[in-house]
Structure 1
Amino acid sequence: MPIIDGHGGTDNIFYHSRQLFFKGFHANELCAYHELHRETVCSPIVNGVLFFAVPVAGHLDCFLVAYDNKIELVEWNTLTNLPGRKLAAMTEVDLQKNEFINSGTGDPFGGVCFWTLRMSEPVFGKVWTFGAVSFPSLLEQHRLVGLRVSNGILWDLTHIERIYCVDGLSNRIMSFTYNLAEKKFTGFTGIAFDLNAWIESLEHPLYTGHAMLGRMTIDTNGRIWVPLNGGSHVLQIDPVSRGVLQAIAFRAVRVTACVFGGEKLNILYVSSIPYGGDAAPVGDQGGKIFAVTGLGEGVKGREAWPYHMPETFMRQRNSMYMHTPKHNSKGIPYV
Structure 2
Amino acid sequence: MFSCRKMSVDPELAGVQVEEVTAAGAVQLGEGPHWIDSEQALYWVDLLAGVLHRLHPASGKHTSTTPPGKKSLGFVVPVFRQPHHFVVGLGLDVALLRWDGETQCAIERVLGSVHATPGSLRFNDGKADPQGRLWAGTMSTAIDKGVDPQPEIGSLYSLEESGVKKHVDYVGISNGLAWRDAIMYYIDSSAGRVDAFDLEPASGQLSGRRCVFDLQKNGVPGVPDGMTIDSVGNLWVACFDGAQVICVDPERGALLRRIPIPAKQVTSVCWGGRLLDELFVTTAAVKAETGKVAAGRLYRVTGLGANGLLNDQERARKHEIHLTGANDDVLKVGQRSSSSEEEERDECAERNYGVRRAVWRCERALSGIALIP
Q: TM-score, normalised by structure 2?
A: 0.71
Aligned to 1:306: 355
Q: CA deviation at 1:128?
A: 0.5
The one of 274, 284, 288 equivalent to 2:285 is 274
SS, match of residue 310 in structure 1: helix
Aligned to 1:185: 206
Matches of 1:279 and 1:20, distance apart in 2: 24
CA contact (8 A) 2:224 2:240 kept: yes
Instruction: Name the CA shift for 1:148/1:122 in 2 (closer, same or farther; >3 Å).
Output: closer
CA contact (8 A) 1:223 1:238 kept: yes
Q: Give unpaired runs (5+ residues) of structure 2.
A: 1-18, 143-148, 312-327, 329-353, 365-373
% identity of equivalent residues: 22
Q: CA deviation at 1:277?
A: 4.1
CA contact (8 A) 2:269 2:280 kept: yes
The one of 20, 29, 43 equivalent to 1:2 is 20
Matches of 1:25 and 1:70, distance apart in 2: 14
Aligned to 2:324: none
Matches of 2:60 and 2:290, distance apart in 1: 33
SS, match of residue 57 in structure 1: coil
Deviation digits for residues 99-122 of structure 1 (CA, Å, limit 9, x no counterpart): 222221122111210001135534
Backbone CA RMSD of aligned residues: 2.6
AA paired with 1:306? V
Matches of 2:159 and 2:227, distance apart in 1: 21
SS, match of residue 27 in structure 2: coil
Aligned to 2:190: 169
SS, match of residue 216 in structure 2: helix
Task: Give the number of aligned pairs.
Answer: 290
Deviation digits for residues 191-227 of structure 1 (CA, Å, limit 9, x no counterpart): 110100000xxxxxx7xxx511110100010000011
Instruction: Name the CA shift for 1:279/1:37 in 2 (closer, same or farther; >3 Å).
Output: closer
Instruction: Name the CA shift for 1:94/1:288 in 2 (closer, same or farther; >3 Å).
Output: same
Task: Show the 5 A alignment for 1:92-107.
Answer: 92-96=113-117, 98-107=120-129
Instruction: Name the CA shift for 1:128/1:26 in 2 (closer, same or farther; >3 Å).
Output: closer
Matches of 2:287 and 2:110, distance apart in 1: 37
Q: TM-score, normalised by structure 1?
A: 0.78
AA paired with 2:302? T
CA contact (8 A) 2:153 2:171 kept: no
Q: CA deviation at 1:171?
A: 0.6
Q: Give unpaired runs (5+ residues) of structure 1.
A: 200-205, 315-335
Deviation digits for residues 89-148 of structure 1 (CA, Å, limit 9, x no counterpart): 2122223562222221122111210001135534332110113x3xxx72221137x965
Q: Which has the higher helix share?
A: 2
Aligned to 1:150: 174
Q: Which runs of 4+ in 1 moved over 6 A?
A: 278-281
Task: Show the 5 A alignment for 1:9-88.
Answer: 9-17=29-37, 18-24=40-46, 27-47=49-69, 48-78=71-101, 80=102, 82-88=103-109
Instruction: Name the CA shift for 1:193/1:57 in 2 (closer, same or farther; >3 Å).
Output: same
Task: Show the 5 A alignment for 1:245-284.
Answer: 245-274=256-285, 276-277=287-288
Instruction: Name the CA shift for 1:220/1:96 in 2 (closer, same or farther; >3 Å).
Output: farther
Q: Is structure 2 residue 164 aligned with structure 1 residue 139?
A: yes
Aligned to 2:112: 91
